[in-house]
């Protein structure tokens, strides 16, 4: 079932961990009934410890707390950390855990990459920020630049219903029918923004986020600003960017200049000549690693979420974005991105990507065909239905005769197991 635009929402842009973590933790501290969290990465650093503390406090005062982490992104959590949560009544689940092979994490593909928090079904947070200290400026030169949005209003009901179905093994089989409900939400209008919650999975919504990008690019008349950390999009997205530029739209890309992984900059660099020749402006953000996944088009449309514009996000991982139609939010986000371009970016010029003509021709041929066909190739990669493990308190699981480690997909701490079929 398709997602639906909801009117009457109130939005607040949250830039980096300095704004995101206090907002989320304060909302959890004020929770009266329920907290739902999905995160790709959770580390045992000062942010992870504060999250643990606020969730433990919420669980002890009777709030129903659910925490879902990815088996790849949060594989280093210790049993003691997990035990502190589960003992307090937190429902702790691991998406697709898997034992390591020679110390190497092999569960690379089709990850649960979403970052969603919903409190009491009335306030939600969607974005690209994980629960880790590297999203704070005092982390040092490797601190990430990133964004999230705090949202209240009718669209929160869609986000809540989605998150509830995704983390509840008993209702996992209903996921595809309930993820994007058509029912009119009951939450009252509290603002003026229109918003739609858009997800990507490997069954019913394989290209929804990419499609929203393409529609927005086709509608652009004046400007497009895209800031995306991991950039190697498909042929159709690149074509829409170039077409927009050729009809006079100012199209600006903000990509990683200080890459957290060398291959990220190398892959994006393969596209520079093609983009510049099409009239697209490319900027490399050089102050710190860029981790954001945001965009604005003209004066109204914007998007913010977990989805990169690369093969993993567009063809494999489970992702979630909030698309927005609101002039004020668009203005605030655009000003933030324009500030990055003015003060902390290096603009890529044609002379920066000059190469021997033969090499350009060969490279362009290779990149063109890779990008044109990668969605099909991605569908050939191993599809799986990762199990969603619920970790029980040690006192409950101690009667089991099975051994294992919940961080690596073992069974000693698992009270129940349910396959999250929607992720296949």
Angle at 296 between CA 338 and CA 150, to 5 degrees: 95
The span from the CA of 14 to the CA of 375, in Å, is: 32
| Active-site option among 57, 204, 298, 405 | 298
SS3 295: strand
- Kindly name the residue from 91, 115, 252, 281 that is annotated as catalytic: 115
- Give how far Cα 173 sits from Cα of 69, 202, 319, 335, 421, Å: 19, 15, 19, 43, 7
**Annotated active-site residue in 113, 144, 413, 422:** 113
Only one residue has tokens 């991991």, namely 230
The sign one gets for the Cα dihedral 108, 114, 119, 120 is negative
Cα separation, 110 vs 387, whole angstroms: 12
Active site residue 113: yes
Q: How far apart are CA 94 and CA 105, in angstroms?
A: 15
Distance, in Å, from the CA atom of 180 to the CA atom of 194, rounded to the nearest integer, reads 16
Under DSSP, the state recorded for 274 is H
Six-digit token pair at 146?
A: 């990133």
CA gap 311, 110 in Å, rounded: 11
Candidates 135, 212, 274, 291; catalytic one: 291
Say which of 144, 274, 293, 422 is annotated catalytic.
293
CA–CA separation, 163 and 66 (whole Å): 10
- Residue 291 annotated to the active site: yes
Which residues lie across from 34 on neighbouring strands? 64
d(CA 148, CA 51): 17
Candidate list 57, 120, 204, 352, residue with the active-site label: 120
User: C-alpha angle with apex 131: 16 to 169, nearest 5 degrees?
Assistant: 135
- Is the distance from CB of 127 to CB of 115 less than 8 angstroms? yes
**281 closest CA partner among 351, 348, 368:** 348
Q: Is 298 a catalytic residue?
A: yes
d(CA 52, CA 197): 27
Bridge partners (DSSP) of residue 10 are 152
What is the CB neighbour count within 10 angstroms for residue 406? 26
Active site amino acids: 113, 115, 120, 291, 293, 298
């Amino acid at each position: 079932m398709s997602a639906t635009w909801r009117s009457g929402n109130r939005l607040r842009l949250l830039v980096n961990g300095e704004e995101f973590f206090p907002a989320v933790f304060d909302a959890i501290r004020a929770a009266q009934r329920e907290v739902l969290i999905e995160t790709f990465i959770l580390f045992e650093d000062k942010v992870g410890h504060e999250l643990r503390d606020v969730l433990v406090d919420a669980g002890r005062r009777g709030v129903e707390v659910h925490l879902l982490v990815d088996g790849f992104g949060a594989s280093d959590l210790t049993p003691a950390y997990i035990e502190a949560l589960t003992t307090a009544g937190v429902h702790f689940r691991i998406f697709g855990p898997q034992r390591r092979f020679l110390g190497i994490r092999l569960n690379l593909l089709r990850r649960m990459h979403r970052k969603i928090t919903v409190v009491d079904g009335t306030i939600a947070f969607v974005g690209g920020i994980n629960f880790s200290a590297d999203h704070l400026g005092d982390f040092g030169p490797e601190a990430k630049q990133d964004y999230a949005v705090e949202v209240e209003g009718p669209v929160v009901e869609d986000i809540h219903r989605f998150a509830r179905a995704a983390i509840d093994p008993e209702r996992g089989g209903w996921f595809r029918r309930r993820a994007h409900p058509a029912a009119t939400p009951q939450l009252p209008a509290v603002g003026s923004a229109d918003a739609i919650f858009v997800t990507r999975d490997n069954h019913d919504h394989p290209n929804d986020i990419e499609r929203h990008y393409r529609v927005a690019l086709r509608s652009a008349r004046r400007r497009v600003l895209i800031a995306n950390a991991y950039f190697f999009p498909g042929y159709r997205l690149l074509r829409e960017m170039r077409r927009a530029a050729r009809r006079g739209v100012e199209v600006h890309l903000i990509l990683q200049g200080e890459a957290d992984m060398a291959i990220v900059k190398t892959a994006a660099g393969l596209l520079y000549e093609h983009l510049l020749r099409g009239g697209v402006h490319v900027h490399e953000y050089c102050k710190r690693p860029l981790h954001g996944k945001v965009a604005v088009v003209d004066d109204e449309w914007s998007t913010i979420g977990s989805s990169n514009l690369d093969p993993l996000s567009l063809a494999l991982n489970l992702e979630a974005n909030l698309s927005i139609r609101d002039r004020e939010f668009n203005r605030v986000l655009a000003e933030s991105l324009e500030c990055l371009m003015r003060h902390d970016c290096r603009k890529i010029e044609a002379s920066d990507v000059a190469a021997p003509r033969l090499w350009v021709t060969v490279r362009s041929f290779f990149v063109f065909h890779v990008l044109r066909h990668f969605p099909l190739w991605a569908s050939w990669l191993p599809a799986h239905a990762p199990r969603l493990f619920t970790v029980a308190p040690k006192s409950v699981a101690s009667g089991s005769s099975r051994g294992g480690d919940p961080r690596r997909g073992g069974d000693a701490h698992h009270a129940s197991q349910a396959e999250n079929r929607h992720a296949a």
